[in-house]
Amino acid sequence: MKTTADRIDPVAINGIGTSPLRKEDWPLVRGEGTFIADFKRPGLVHAFVVRSPLAHAQFPSIDCTATLAAPGVLDVITANELPDRGRPIPTRQFADEGSNRFLQRPLADGVVRYSGEPVAVVIADSRYRAEDAAELLDIDYERLDVVLDPDDAVAANAPLLRPDAGTNVAGHLLVEMGAIDEAFAEADLVIKETFRIQRHAAVPLETRGLLAEYDAETESITVWGAAKIPHVNRTILARLLGWSDESRVRLVELHVGGGFGARGEFYPEDFLIPFAAIRTGRPVAWVEDREENLRATNHSREQVHRVEMALKKDGTFLALKDSFINNTGAYVRTHGMTVPALSVSMLPGPYKWPAYRGEFRSVVTNKTPGGTYRSPGRFEINFVRERLIDIAAHRLGLDPVDIRRRNLIDRTSFPHDLGTLYDGHPVIYDSGDYELLLDKALPAFDYEGLERWRSEPAAGGIRRGLGIGFFVEKAGPAEREYARVELNDKGDVMVYTGAASVGQGVETVLAQICVSHLGLPYERVRVIHGDTALIPEGMGAFGSRATMLGGAAVMRASKQLRKRLLDAAAEELEAAPADLMLSPEGVSVVGAPARSVSLKTLLSTSAGVIIEEHRFVCDLLGFPYGIHVAAVEVDTASGAIRIHRYAVAYDIGRCVNPVLVAGQISGGFAQGIGGALLEEFSFDANGQPMSASFMDYLLPTSEEVPDLEVLITEDAPSPLNPLGVKGAGEGGTAGVGAAIANAVSDALGSEVTRLPLSPQRVVELAGE
Amino acid sequence: MKINGRAVEGEVEPRLLLADFIRDNAGLTGTHLGCEHGVCGACTVQLDGHPVRSCLIFAVQAHGHQVATVEGMAPSDSSLNTLQQAFHECHALQCGFCTPGILMTMDAFLREEPDPTPERIRSALGGNLCRCTGYQNIITAVRLAADRLNC
């Protein structure tokens, strides 16, 4: 028997699996977007955040007299003015009792611990005048010893950021599975190596910004410029303000110029700007400039791994041991131990390891605090593990593809429990067929042809290399998501979601999911997100979760709505629901269009609108997986790396919009290129940032990012949600460091053990 | 100065950036500031037809000149111009923050070089940062626009 869903043709209505033009584009290409700096309120004044010029110093007091007297200045805020001298900003993920000793307060109070730490806020009638007045602040800094390197941070006698804590170690975790010592005892070969991944970060092209306005009459505050997790941040802001009723706080997301993990977390400014609006009674705007952005917004990725791998002669993996230090910077911010915890829980990757022992220490140093960046913790460990495997293959004289294939987790052993935990969630690979992806990717990318290309002679001084990186990604959770679908009697559909937009196309994708289960045209759907006054709850957009959880919620709500509507129409038309068709005009009987009832009639008893809600809950993570292949030419004289070909194969369970998924992979890949070759936050010996402009911090341009070949597969739908999707946001980034480093090692015959592969480092390697 | 053909007057401090004048005095916020030191290209506008970084020019330097911004591109409220349409069709934008500057750069580029190869487009795009797309779809979109403009 046909069900009502069979009457829906997803292709005809731009549903799942198609690539309709994005809903988001129109205002953005016309210059009519509203990003935070474009948004104004009457009576607006401007905030400038005064930041520490030193990486570690104490300051007994701040003299604001001259600043307060400067033209246009309304207020100056220091720790003196804050409730409880500033309450610590809590972690929202992976909380840890030990790390709570290292939380950041909105303003430094007597001690600054990184260059760029907020020490005061100046409010004036223009940003220009606020900056002028900030120059007049009188602060006597007394330098303290700095600690910058993660190894130095754990050394005996290291300067302590928190002498009261007695340590720089903010978090520690050990995971152990299998008989590790026995496995090493029976090994034919043990590889021991140290790998370093450099500090780099998300750096969205739009810097952060906020506009806050206080309504004294209702004692409520509205903050525009929210991103990623508006509802979560509403709770944090209410708590820091000391307000028990969080409905007095409204957070609103405008257009968001990229997130990638960093934007939208709760930063000191997310408290300071609303607080300034309450104090001054004026709407207060703040927009970060690029220099602030590079010093103040979360950094990521800085890790040092000391790994050992045990193998049999034939290449069978026996055990893996890793002890690493994660440099989280001066404070533990909202992510808590998320990044190192993802590294330690996912290092094993797509392979069978009879034994695994992983351990991290996350340390504080006098650098910008850290958080997540696209594929957090995984970009790092994929580099470590995949490099280690190639080193093993070289030592054993095995082919890099063969050694991987021999050790892949078997297709029959899913769901596959890795035995590790991530933030309380067991790491159970939900579904997969890793060997099948390898079998598809190699011919699709003409791997044999690339091997021939690699062995052909190149021009003088040029060496060719081929590298592969195999990885498992993660998607979700943030265990629940909300959706509400409303249909009015004109045939217009409104979808309210607790997910958020960071520019990735969530409106388009959720509209496609809605129409696939509701059966009305894509053009009639509007998606509303990012306003805590309009949407009762939400977990936002991060960790490739918006389609997985947000999509599942929209799907269920849309199905419920269709069923309710068709059941009502079936009664009206005296027909079976399965024989009915829904259109924007109404419901009719298939094959007998005259037997119909209008939406106006159907919805006349419910004020012209029908509403369905759904809360989708999923405690487990989804695990998409992929393969990166890089073919490079390395100029041994200049150290330049030319990417001859690059390809990504990614199984994401189910693909809602192929063009958008490919776009996610391409964009993620470009960021991976930045991480593998270009981007690095360096500091001088005093902790001064040396990469605080785009002339020193190098984002990849069109000339560094080659065309990318993409293979999207849907061979292992996730059993965790009714759509089967796994999230596709991070796989483009995850394997770039691994594949490029393997290709460069192959070209030079010398093992890469640290990123980025700057020209200087490549020349050094070529000389080894 | 004239912005998109409309005369805009103002008395401003010498230090006011052209970008701030366009955004705050003329109220045209499609021109975005991504770095304020001339690297990212998000603030690109056309000054007398040539692409310039409006964060590296003072408003007073544009006195008496013609400025074109992204808001002047579309022929009407209900349509896009050829280049904008190609960006829309080729998924050449994600967050859209860099898009106005890229459109202004590529619009001037296509006037100068109406039939560019993908390599030439890649090179002309080198001064505009995009953090979302990986650039490939932008190059495809510019090539599509060139095809349509040339027929």
Kindly provide the ipTM of the predicted complex, given to two decimals. Answer: 0.98
- Asked whether the beta carbons of residue A503 and residue B31 sit closer than 8 angstroms, the reply is no
Mean pLDDT per block of 10 residues along chain A (768 residues) reads 72 95 98 98 98 98 98 98 97 87 98 98 97 98 98 97 97 96 98 98 98 98 97 98 97 97 97 98 98 98 98 98 98 97 97 98 98 98 98 98 98 95 89 98 98 93 97 92 98 97 95 97 97 96 93 98 97 95 95 95 95 96 97 97 98 98 98 98 98 97 98 98 96 98 98 98 93
* CA A696 – CA A702 distance, rounded (Å): 18
Phi and psi, residue A351, nearest 5°: -110, 160
Considering only CB atoms, which chain B residues are within 8 Å of A658? Answer: none
Into how many domains does chain B fold? 2
**Residue B77: inside a domain:** no
A496-515 residues touching B, CB cutoff 8 A: 502-505
Quickly name the fold that domain A377-421+429-473+622-767 has.
Aldehyde Oxidoreductase; domain 4 (3.30.365)
The angle, 0 to 180 degrees and rounded to 10, between the axes of the packed helices A658-673 and B136-150 is 120
* CA A320 – CA A338 distance, rounded (Å): 22
Task: For A4-33+477-617, give the CATH class.
Answer: alpha beta
**Residue B90: inside a domain:** yes
Chains A and B form CB pairs within 8 A to the count of: 169
Sheet holding A580-582, edge to edge: A580-582, A586-589, A592-598
Asked whether the beta carbons of B148 and B86 are under 8 A apart, the reply is yes
* CA A290 – CA A208 distance, rounded (Å): 9
* CA A615 – CA A638 distance, rounded (Å): 56
- The end-to-end CA distance of chain B, in Å, is 34
pLDDT at A5: 67
* CA A22 – CA A663 distance, rounded (Å): 12
Beta-strand pair A493-497/A525-529: parallel
**Residue B67: inside a domain:** yes
pLDDT at A459: 87
Asked whether the beta carbons of B101 and B23 are under 8 A apart, the reply is no
- Asked whether the beta carbons of residue A30 and residue B69 sit closer than 8 angstroms, the reply is no
* CA A271 – CA A293 distance, rounded (Å): 17
Strand, helix or coil for residue A246: helix
Listed by start position, the domains of chain A span 4-33+477-617, 377-421+429-473+622-767
Beta-sheet strands, E only, within A315-400: 317-327, 355-363
The answer to whether residues B66 and B87 belong to one domain is no
* Helices (H), ranges, B30-98: 82-89
Residue in A404, A408, A448 with CA at minimum distance from that of residue A315: A404
A723 token code pair: 């759509």
Name the residue among A31, A128, A504 with its Cβ closest to that of B94.
Answer: A504
A714-733 residues touching B, CB cutoff 8 A: 732
pLDDT digits (tens, 9 = 90+) for A57-105: 999 999 999 999 999 999 999 999 999 999 999 999 887 788 999 999 9
pLDDT at A4: 64
pLDDT at A93: 87
- Asked whether the beta carbons of residue B97 and residue A22 sit closer than 8 angstroms, the reply is no
Which helix (H) or strand (E) covers residue A463, if one does? strand A462-472
Cα A383–chain centre separation: 18
Asked whether the beta carbons of A547 and A501 are under 8 A apart, the reply is no
**Residue B93: inside a domain:** yes
Asked whether the beta carbons of B107 and B73 are under 8 A apart, the reply is yes
With 0-12 CB in 10 A as exposed, 13-18 as middle and 19+ as buried, what is B13?
Answer: exposed
- Asked whether the beta carbons of residue A28 and residue B128 sit closer than 8 angstroms, the reply is no
Ranges of chain B with pLDDT below 70 = none
Q: Is B53 on the interface with A (CB under 8 A)?
A: no
pLDDT at A96: 78
Angle at Cα A237 formed by Cα A236 and Cα A242, nearest 5°?
A: 100
The last residue of one of the domains, among B40, B72, B104, is B72
Q: Is B131 on the interface with A (CB under 8 A)?
A: yes
Torsion sign across C-alpha atoms A8, A12, A13, A16: positive
The answer to whether residues B42 and B16 belong to one domain is yes
Contacts of A607 (CB under 8 A, 6+ apart): none
Strand, helix or coil for residue A38: helix
pLDDT at B141: 98
The last residue of one of the domains, among B72, B100, B122, is B72
* CA A511 – CA B145 distance, rounded (Å): 28
Task: Summarize chain A as % helix, strand, coil (round to 5).
Answer: 30, 25, 40
Read out DSSP for A42-106?
A: TT-EEEEEEE-SSSSEE-S-EE-HHHHHSTTEEEEE-GGGSGGGSPPPPPSSS--TGGGGGBPPS
With 0-12 CB in 10 A as exposed, 13-18 as middle and 19+ as buried, what is A138?
Answer: exposed
Domain hosting residue B117, numbered range: 82-150
CA distance B29 to chain A (A): 6
The answer to whether residues B44 and B103 belong to one domain is no
Burial B41-55 (b: 16+ CB within 10 A, else e): bbbbbbbeeebbbbb
**Residue B115: inside a domain:** yes
CA distance B149 to chain A (A): 18
pLDDT at A3: 65
- Asked whether the beta carbons of residue B23 and residue A502 sit closer than 8 angstroms, the reply is no
CA distance B121 to chain A (A): 9
Is the bond leading into A756 cis (omega within 30 degrees of zero)? Answer: yes
* CA A413 – CA A432 distance, rounded (Å): 9
The last residue of one of the domains, among B72, B106, B122, is B72
Which helix (H) or strand (E) covers residue A480, if one does? strand A480-488
CATH number, domain of B28, equals 3.10.20.30
